[in-house]
């Protein structure tokens, strides 16, 4: 997986607990990630059949010669946001002019002209914003804003995806070799995952409770996990997934990604994406049973 355990991967936990992967003949291990873990590298080294990544990372890997394919897209909108306090909100990019933007070093993005913004390297924590050290924070929709809301701090988020930042996130990737020679296994893993995420959508509170129960030593706050689970619905499900099925990606979204990645200095083609597995899975409709 692309990050530490949390309800971010709640649908996969459900799939594992309910035996949905086993239904398709697979014994699946869900391996957590983190800042020092590269799902792309694990897949390339044949240590994992499928990895959870993002189009910018996988695109760079392919540009460097890796034989990857993106076969599913869990986050229909990129989760990066600008978070601000609601009494001094950042609602659109121009609102950032003349303000201080807090960024954790690992989260810094290649942005266009930011000379009118004072960028402050900060911890990945709401404190610099709450304490008035910065006017906004670069973060994910589903973490720091959730933490503030749980603490009773009114906050506003500006989703990058609503202003042209099209980078598929929480993507499922595999190698070209696996797609050709282990196709049934990859297909089964996607089917199992889809069943888990379909169930997740119907009861996000249950997904949060499962996450807390599975990882008792992680120190999860149940209310925070519940809010994160519900907030994820905004970026994981869309009109496209309702029409075609979870993990779907359109030709238009691929072209949008190609343009955004080019602006970030990563040149890819539409061949990076392969929708053939999803087309097979959803041949009879957008809901898997």
Is 26 within 8 Å of 13 (Cβ atoms)? no
> In the chain, what are the domain boundaries?
7-76+166-281, 80-163
Phi and psi torsions of 90, nearest 5° = -105, 105
pLDDT at 45: 94
Phi and psi torsions of 75, nearest 5° = -95, 105
pLDDT at 113: 57
Q: Give 229's contacts (C-beta < 8 A, 6+ positions apart).
A: 7, 10, 200, 204, 205, 207, 208, 211
pLDDT at 111: 54
The three-class DSSP label of residue 141 is: coil
Is 30 within 8 Å of 166 (Cβ atoms)? no
Is 83 within 8 Å of 136 (Cβ atoms)? yes
**CATH code given to domain 80-163:** 3.40.190.10
In angstroms, the CA 222 to CA 238 distance is 26
Burial class of residue 188, CB neighbours in 10 A (0-12, 13-18, 19+):
buried
Domains 7-76+166-281 and 80-163 share a fold: yes
Q: Which CATH homologous superfamily contains domain 7-76+166-281?
A: Periplasmic binding protein-like II (3.40.190.10)
pLDDT at 114: 66
Kindly report the pTM of this predicted structure: 0.95
pLDDT-flagged residues of the chain (< 50): none
pLDDT at 154: 99
pLDDT at 36: 79
pLDDT at 226: 99
């Amino acid at each position: 997986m692309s990050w530490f355990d949390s309800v971010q991967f709640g649908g996969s936990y459900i799939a594992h607990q309910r035996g949905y992967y086993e239904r398709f003949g697979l014994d699946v291990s869900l391996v957590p990630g983190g800042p020092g873990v590269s799902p792309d590298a694990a897949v390339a080294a044949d240590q994992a059949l499928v990895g959870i990544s993002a189009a910018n990372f996988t695109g760079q890997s392919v540009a460097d010669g890796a034989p990857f394919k993106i076969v599913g897209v869990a986050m229909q909108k990129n989760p990066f946001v600008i978070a601000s306090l609601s009494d001094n909100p950042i609602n659109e990019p121009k609102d950032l002019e003349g303000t201080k933007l807090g960024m954790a070093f690992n989260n810094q993005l290649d942005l266009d002209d930011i000379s009118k913004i004072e960028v402050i390297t900060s911890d990945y924590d709401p404190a610099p914003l709450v304490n008035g050290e910065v006017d906004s924070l670069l973060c994910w929709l589903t973490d720091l804003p959730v933490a503030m809301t749980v603490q009773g701090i009114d906050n506003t988020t500006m989703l990058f995806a609503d202003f042209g930042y099209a980078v598929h996130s929480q993507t499922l990737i595999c190698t070209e070799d696996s797609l050709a020679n282990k196709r049934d296994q990859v297909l089964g893993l996607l089917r199992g995952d889809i069943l888990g995420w379909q169930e997740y959508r119907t009861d996000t509170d249950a997904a949060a409770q499962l996450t807390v129960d599975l990882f008792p030593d992680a120190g999860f706050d149940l209310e925070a996990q519940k809010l994160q689970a519900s907030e994820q619905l905004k970026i994981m499900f869309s009109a496209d997934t309702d029409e075609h099925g979870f993990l779907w990606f359109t030709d238009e979204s691929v072209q949008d990604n190609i343009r955004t990645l080019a602006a970030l200095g990563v040149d890819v083609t539409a061949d990076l994406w392969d929708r053939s597995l999803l087309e097979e899975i959803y041949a009879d409709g957008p809901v898997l049973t």
